[in-house]
Structure 1
Amino acid sequence: MKEYQNLELIKRIKALADTGLVYAKDDYDKERYEELRGISLELLSNVSDQPLTMLNDFFMPERDYPTAKVDVRGFVMNDKNEILMAKEQIDGHWTIPGGWADVGYTPSEVVTKEIEEETGLSCSVVRLLAIYDKRMHPHPPQPFYVYKLVFLCKVENGGLKPGFDMAGAAFYRIDDLPELSKDRILESQINQLYNMVIENDKNVHFD
């Protein structure tokens, strides 16, 4: 828990430094914000066990006000009330299909594109189910601040065929879920989403 709290503080420090670099007018202030940003990346390297050089390359200096990253996911059920899942090659675990929001695509376009790329199924969006702040849920620690959008989708056509970067695609019963990729989805979230669909709950869950 303490490590998680430290990570959240480091991310806040980095965000403040990035914001300062965007708006600072004075060279003295910019130098101090750059130093603060460097310290935050060093701390992040210590907490995450990622090389500092990799973090420097990955976290390029912000050119605008830093904001949360957006992860877009699709919740799809078949006529047996089974849930569509995709198996990640990275960790060998399962998640509902989706990924980072792409620039130039609407959220609904992103989610249908990701579902088809990862599972082979062409879907349409029914409605928004939830907006999760990952910080508010017991996901593994990560360097990003992430909002997760989950859309209810329905299959229009196609057949199950995992994408080139996925290790599998299948439908699973709610009481027989595979091992989950907890960085991407949690069992508690799947249960909540499932109940919302089954109970025809029209509310949008947030946070």
Structure 2
Amino acid sequence: MSSYYFEKIKRLHALAEIGLEYNTIPYDIERYQEIRDICLEMLEELTRIPVEEIVPVIEERNGYRTPKVDVRAVVFNENDEILLVQEKVDQLWALPGGWTDIAYSPGEVAEKECMEEAGLAVKAVRLLAIMDKQKQQMPPAFEYVYKIFLLCEKVGSTISVGSETCDVGWFNENKLPALSLPRNNEAQIKMMYEYKRGERTDPYFD
């Protein structure tokens, strides 16, 4: 799959959805519908995923399209090891985190996800990075995603698996497990260690 064309089709589809939401001219509405349908057909051809499975993910039908937000908790222990969880969905490892929830701040999401996925009580204390997933050499996805990385301090001391994880552990920077690349990559983990060592101070953003 060409990542370039994949992202362009998603952008064109988003514009068609915006046109359908705000346009009142019947002729224009018909054309926006046709553009949207062509985009879905192209996505189906590129991904080999049926249109009926693509639509619930990519179409919001509730106004102006905006990126989804993914929050990741960055937690270190006294040995300068980073906390990672093994995802049930792909058996690979990631920083605790997930989609933001209505009525929760980014900090609250990081704290909640860390407890749910790693069984660890933490306190979000610092913004480290806001990244555009498309610009981070990560696998293409139907959603357009902003990723927020928050430094969290341990409040508790014990860790345990959650309903969406099958393992949890602390890892050295040079001995990272196989990472869940849709969620985080090695460059991002390395960047978090740069903040830990004081090599970076200002928040990163794309």
TM superposition score normalised by structure 1: 0.95
Structure 1 CA distance for aligned equivalents of residues 152 and 187 of structure 2 = 19
**Cα offsets for 1:78-116 (capped at 9, x unmatched):** 000000001011111000010011111111111110010
In the superposition, relative to structure 1, how do residues 78 and 122 fare at CA in structure 2: closer, same or farther (>3 Å)?
A: same
Q: Retained in 2: the 8 A contact 1:120–1:158?
A: no
- How does 1:7-46 map onto structure 2 within 5 Å? 7-46=6-45
- How does 1:1-207 map onto structure 2 within 5 Å? 3-199=2-198, 201-207=200-206
* AA in 2 matched with 1:187: E
The answer for unaligned runs of 5 or more in structure 2 is none
The answer for unaligned runs of 5 or more in structure 1 is none
In the superposition, relative to structure 1, how do residues 158 and 61 fare at CA in structure 2: closer, same or farther (>3 Å)?
A: same
Structure 2 CA distance for aligned equivalents of residues 123 and 57 of structure 1 = 33
Structure 2 CA distance for aligned equivalents of residues 111 and 61 of structure 1 = 24
Structure 2 CA distance for aligned equivalents of residues 57 and 160 of structure 1 = 35
* AA in 1 matched with 2:189: I
The worse-fitting range, judged by mean Cα deviation, of 83-92 and 43-52 is 43-52
* AA in 2 matched with 1:129: L
TM superposition score normalised by structure 2: 0.96
Q: CA RMSD in A?
A: 1.3
The worse-fitting range, judged by mean Cα deviation, of 12-21 and 197-206 is 197-206
* AA in 1 matched with 2:2: E
Structure 2 CA distance for aligned equivalents of residues 112 and 89 of structure 1 = 20
Offset of residue 200 of structure 1:
6.2
Structure 1 CA distance for aligned equivalents of residues 55 and 70 of structure 2 = 22
